[in-house]
Chains A and B, each alone.
Chain A
Amino acid sequence: MTRPGTRFAGVAAILLAIWALTAPAALASAPRPQPSLTDIENDVMCTLCHESLAVAQSPQADAERNYIRGLIAKGETKQQILRDMVAQYGPGVLGRPPASGFNLSVYILPPAILVVGIAILAFTLPRWRRRTRAAKSQSPNKPPAFDPAETARLDQELSQFRG
């Protein structure tokens, strides 16, 4: 006699074993996502007009699009197509330049500027707040004293207003 818990564990183990055996094969035979021209165009530049292929209108851009269409028809994945484009047109064809040489600045500078900005704020904000607090404590909230001439003028105007 088996207990229900043990039976459930056995069934679960069998199902897990079946999944473990079949999943890799299923993943391998699953159709690879077929990229469209639009998918690629956004990541590729027209090398002569220095515009994204998504917006470029020139014979060079048309030639690149035709080449990409050919690669899509061959069944290449997006990564394969991008590699092939670099082999044919050089690294300048990529919309996002490779992280090497001068191009490194594209990847390093924005976060560096952000970090420096945060550091400056972290350094200066507390000082500003301390200074403001100190200024406030030195001058308690007393209303500013009226100039006697101003007071007299105010009284006169108010009396005119009251009739």
Chain B
Amino acid sequence: MRRIAIPALAVAVAAGLLALLGFGVAHLGSDSSIDASVARGDYPTAPNAQLQLPILGGSGSKSLAQFRGKVVVLNVFASWCPPCLAEAPMLEREEQQIAKDNATILGVTYQDNSSDSESFVQQHHITYPVVRDVSGNFARAYGVNGVPETFVINRQGKIVALNRSQLDGTWLKKTLPKILAEPS
């Protein structure tokens, strides 16, 4: 019995370390379960909806839950990212059009310093609300591992469409009308 005690202890410690390593890797890895759910039509509830995020260029914070009842086009971006730069004017034009349908674009800066983000917003005359995801925890729950990424959240707070690359002019035009037409 004593003869196997030490090897058993060593094996247990090694197994524990491997489990810890596995947990760490899984914790850091990107999550594509939202993509799969949306593709199946089994729309997931937008994660971290209650999380308060600081408002860019202002005081206070906002959470996604505060937009409940509106269609939200959640655009995750960073000021240094050329594709984000390219899609910003289109998003601003879209904001002007969808506001009357009780919908909004919501910009979320992803691990970007506030001064650069503010310059970005001013440069592109962005009028839609922009909040800051300082630690990246909010966006990571959406499986974000790069920028830009865009999620359309319906009036019930479910993710109904997503695009993990730069938006072209047609994606929002094709995606939004049906979602905007849904009753609240």
User: Is A107 positioned at the interface, with any CB of B under 8 Å from its CB?
Assistant: no
Contact A116 B13 (CB under 8 A): yes
Q: Quick one: given A48-B146, A105-B20, A124-B6, are A89 and B80 in contact (CB under 8 Å)?
A: no
How far is it, in angstroms, between the C-alpha of A90 and the C-alpha of B137 when the chains are bound?
9
User: Is A161 positioned at the interface, with any CB of B under 8 Å from its CB?
Assistant: no
How far is it, in angstroms, between the C-alpha of A113 and the C-alpha of B136 when the chains are bound?
32
Contact A90 B80 (CB under 8 A): no
Contact B135 A91 (CB under 8 A): yes
Contact B78 A90 (CB under 8 A): no
User: Is B166 positioned at the interface, with any CB of A under 8 Å from its CB?
Assistant: no
Residues on the A chain within 8 Å of B10, using CB: 120
0/1 per residue, A63-82, Cβ < 8 Å to B?
A: 11001001000000000000
Interface size for B (C-beta < 8 A) is: 29
User: Is A88 positioned at the interface, with any CB of B under 8 Å from its CB?
Assistant: yes
Size category, A interface? 20 to 34
Residues on the A chain within 8 Å of B113, using CB: 63-64, 67, 88-89
Which listed residue (A63, A92, A124) contacts B135, Cβ 8 A?
Answer: A92
How far is it, in angstroms, between the C-alpha of A88 and the C-alpha of B112 when the chains are bound?
7
Contact A63 B24 (CB under 8 A): no
User: Is A60 positioned at the interface, with any CB of B under 8 Å from its CB?
Assistant: yes
A115 to chain B, nearest CB (A): 12
Residues on the B chain within 8 Å of A93, using CB: 111
B142 to chain A, nearest CB (A): 15
Residues on the B chain within 8 Å of A63, using CB: 78-80, 112-113, 116
Residues on the A chain within 8 Å of B134, using CB: 87-90
Closest to A84 in B: B113
B113 to chain A, nearest CB (A): 4
A146 to chain B, nearest CB (A): 36
How far is it, in angstroms, between the C-alpha of A64 and the C-alpha of B27 when the chains are bound?
24
A residues in contact (CB < 8 Å) with B: 47-48, 50, 59-60, 62-64, 67, 70, 87-93, 102, 105, 109, 113, 116, 120, 123-124
Q: Enumerate 26 A-B pairs (CB-CB under 8 Å) in ascending A order.
A: A48-B110, A50-B28, A59-B81, A59-B82, A60-B78, A62-B80, A63-B78, A63-B80, A63-B113, A64-B113, A67-B113, A67-B115, A70-B115, A88-B112, A88-B113, A90-B137, A92-B135, A92-B136, A102-B24, A102-B27, A105-B20, A109-B20, A113-B13, A113-B17, A116-B13, A120-B9
